[in-house]
């Protein structure tokens, strides 16, 4: 036997009940139950007496319905059937962007921006806009001072890290030399442009026009000109949000499933958070399987085979139960091996396994089961 020490246990209740915890961010790769975890955490905190809002991005329909959400809505709505104050909202990316524009410019200029084809594409399909707007919304919720706890789900990005980088990337872009060059001709207008045009700019614009086509460049250029007054605002906000994520009171909960891809993403995330001094609360391993203890898969399989040979209908039930045990025990073993590999690489990361439920969560009771499992309590779901 090795002297491998067990990883510390992630104490969810201690995290949620600590009045110092103001923001919990759930992150991880797609399909691991990130949104469900966020909702369950919010529910648990609210039922423990904290005024809580859950900000979800693109939740599954039935999960959204379980919290009474029916459409994209930028306003937190009270979730019915919860003891305590739980609010939930689904991010409306475009509207959030429009609000940012309105807040930072005059009505006429805002109209100009809204009408720009480049802005329309940018605000609805810009790679990174969802991440940026999620962070923007988080800042707004934090600034409102209305919430004791904000639980925020991260967008289903290409990479789990995108939401950390997108706001800064946008800030860098808006601050970049390229933007200033693009904006120069539009700002200068016709006659003054001669003074401004340098050799570098000419080459640059030509190349860009050739790559992107002249119209797009024109749209971007006038968009940026209209946006100019907001530059400081944008950059500053991106920076502020980033700082908010590092501030005391923020905690990251990384969510994974006991599968190689999901745990690899979780590893990247854990490493990145530590590099950026962002506070990691721990890892939730969803969909972990457990088997009845005291019977190995091999023994169960031999017993099932022995029963099958007797071909007695009275024994079929026991055979089925044993075959189910083989299947479950092998899966559980696999899950445990995955978890051990992660723990070996990250021995200090507090972890909590959440048992796989036979059915998907689609109501508050389902969420309560998950929240109890998160807190390390057995639930009615593990009936015998």
Partner 1 sequence: MPGVPAGARLHVVTGKGGTGKTTVAATLAMALAEGGRRTLLVEVEGRQALAQLFDVAALPYEERHLAAARGGGEVMGLAIDPELALLEYLEMFYNLKRAGRVLKRMGAIDFATTLAPGVRDVLLTGKVKETTTRTTKDGRFVYDAVVLDAPPTGRIRQFLDATTEVANLTKAGPINRQSVGVLELLHSTRTVVHLVTLLEEMPVQETVDAAAELTAGGFHLGAVVVNRARPTLVTDGQVGPKGAVDLAELAHGLAAAGLDAALAEPLAGQLVEYADRQTVQAENRARLAAVDAPRIELPDLTPPVDLGELNELAAYFRADES
Contact 132, 169 (CB under 8 A): no
- In whole angstroms, what separates CA 365 from the centre of its chain? 23
DSSP for residue 48: T
CB of 341 to partner 1, least distance (A): 10
Contacts with partner 1 in 350-369 (CB under 8 A)? 358-360, 362
Contact 54, 39 (CB under 8 A): yes
Contacts with partner 1 in 12-51 (CB under 8 A)? 29-32
With binding defined as CB under 8 A, does residue 209 bind partner 1? yes
Out of 115, 260, 298, 377, point to the residue binding partner 1 (CB under 8 A).
260
With binding defined as CB under 8 A, does residue 310 bind partner 1? yes
Out of 23, 88, 183, 322, point to the residue binding partner 1 (CB under 8 A).
322
What is the C-alpha to C-alpha distance for residues 39 and 56, in angstroms, rounded to an integer?
Answer: 8
CB of 113 to partner 1, least distance (A): 15
With a CB cutoff of 8 Å and minimum separation 6, the contacts of 230 are 100, 101, 104, 105
Out of 11, 13, 48, 60, point to the residue binding partner 1 (CB under 8 A).
60
Number of alpha carbons in the 13 Å side-chain half-sphere of residue 98: 13
Question: Which pair of tokens denotes residue 119?
Answer: 């802005």
Closer to partner 1 by Cβ: residue 83 or 360: 360
Question: Which pair of tokens denotes residue 363?
Answer: 């109501």
Contacts with partner 1 in 226-245 (CB under 8 A)? none
Q: Number of residues interacting with partner 1: please give it, by CB under 8 A.
A: 82
Contact 307, 318 (CB under 8 A): yes
Closer to partner 1 by Cβ: residue 106 or 296: 296
Closer to partner 1 by Cβ: residue 48 or 181: 181
Question: Which pair of tokens denotes residue 92?
Answer: 């409306």
CB of 324 to partner 1, least distance (A): 4
Contacts with partner 1 in 76-115 (CB under 8 A)? none
Judging by DSSP bridges, how do beta strands 280-288 and 250-256 pair with one another?
A: parallel
CB of 316 to partner 1, least distance (A): 7
Contact 367, 59 (CB under 8 A): no
Contacts with partner 1 in 141-170 (CB under 8 A)? 156, 158-159, 169-170
With binding defined as CB under 8 A, does residue 8 bind partner 1? no
Question: Which pair of tokens denotes residue 141?
Answer: 């919720």
Closer to partner 1 by Cβ: residue 147 or 223: 223
Element (H, E) at 298: helix 297-310
CB of 178 to partner 1, least distance (A): 5
Residues in the chain, total: 384
Q: Which DSSP string corresponds to 186-200?
A: HHHHHHHHHHH--HH
CB of 38 to partner 1, least distance (A): 15
Contact 142, 243 (CB under 8 A): no
Instruction: Choose the binding region for partner 1 from 11-19, 90-98, 185-193, 312-320 (rule: CB under 8 A).
Output: 312-320
Q: What are the distances in angstroms from CA 15 to CA 159, 250, 281, 283, 352?
A: 26, 10, 8, 13, 13
Out of 65, 143, 144, 172, point to the residue binding partner 1 (CB under 8 A).
172
CB of 335 to partner 1, least distance (A): 10
Instruction: Choose the binding region for partner 1 from 3-11, 74-82, 93-101, 257-265 (rule: CB under 8 A).
Output: 257-265
Closer to partner 1 by Cβ: residue 75 or 384: 384
Out of 48, 188, 197, 216, point to the residue binding partner 1 (CB under 8 A).
216
Out of 317, 344, 347, 348, point to the residue binding partner 1 (CB under 8 A).
317
Instruction: Choose the binding region for partner 1 from 3-11, 189-197, 323-331, 365-373 (rule: CB under 8 A).
Output: 323-331
Strands (E), the chain: 23-27, 52-56, 73-78, 86-90, 149-153, 250-256, 280-288, 351-355
């Amino acid at each position: 036997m090795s002297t491998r020490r067990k990883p510390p246990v992630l104490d969810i209740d201690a995290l949620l009940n600590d009045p110092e915890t103001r923001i919990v961010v759930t992150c991880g790769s797609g399909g691991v139950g990130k949104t469900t975890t966020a909702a369950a955490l919010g529910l648990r905190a609210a039922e423990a007496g904290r005024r809580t809002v859950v900000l979800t991005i693109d939740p599954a329909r039935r999960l959204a319905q379980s919290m009474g959400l029916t459409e994209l809505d930028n306003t937190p709505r009270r979730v019915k059937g919860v003891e305590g104050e739980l609010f939930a909202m689904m991010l409306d990316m475009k509207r959030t962007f429009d609000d940012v524009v309105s807040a930072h410019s005059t009505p006429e200029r805002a109209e100009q921006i809204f009408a720009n084809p480049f802005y329309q594409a940018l605000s609805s399909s810009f790679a990174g806009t969802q991440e940026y707007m999620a962070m923007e919304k988080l800042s707004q919720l934090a600034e409102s001072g209305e919430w004791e706890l904000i639980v925020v789900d991260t967008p289903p990005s290409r990479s789990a890290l995108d939401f950390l980088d997108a706001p800064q990337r946008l800030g860098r872009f808006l601050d970049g030399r390229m933007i200033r060059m693009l904006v120069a001709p539009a700002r200068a207008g016709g006659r003054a442009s001669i003074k401004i045009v340098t050799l570098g700019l000419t080459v640059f614009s030509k190349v860009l026009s050739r790559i992107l086509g002249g119209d797009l460049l024109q749209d971007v250029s006038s968009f940026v000109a209209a946006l100019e007054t907001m530059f400081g605002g944008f950059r500053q906000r991106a920076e502020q949000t980033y700082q908010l994520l590092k501030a005391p009171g923020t905690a990251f909960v990384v969510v994974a499933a006991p599968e190689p891809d999901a745990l690899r993403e979780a590893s990247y995330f854990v490493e990145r958070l530590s590099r950026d001094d962002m506070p990691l609360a721990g890892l939730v391993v969803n969909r972990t399987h457990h088997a009845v203890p005291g019977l190995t898969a091999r023994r169960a399989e031999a017993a099932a085979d022995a029963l099958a040979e007797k071909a007695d209908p009275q024994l079929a039930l026991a055979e089925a139960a044993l075959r189910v045990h083989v299947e479950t025990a092998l899966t559980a073993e696999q899950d445990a091996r995955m978890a051990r590999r992660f723990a070996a690489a990250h021995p200090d990361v507090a972890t909590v396994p959440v048992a796989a439920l036979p059915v998907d969560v689609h109501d508050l009771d389902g969420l309560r089961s998950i929240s109890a499992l998160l807190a390390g309590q057995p639930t009615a779901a593990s009936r015998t």
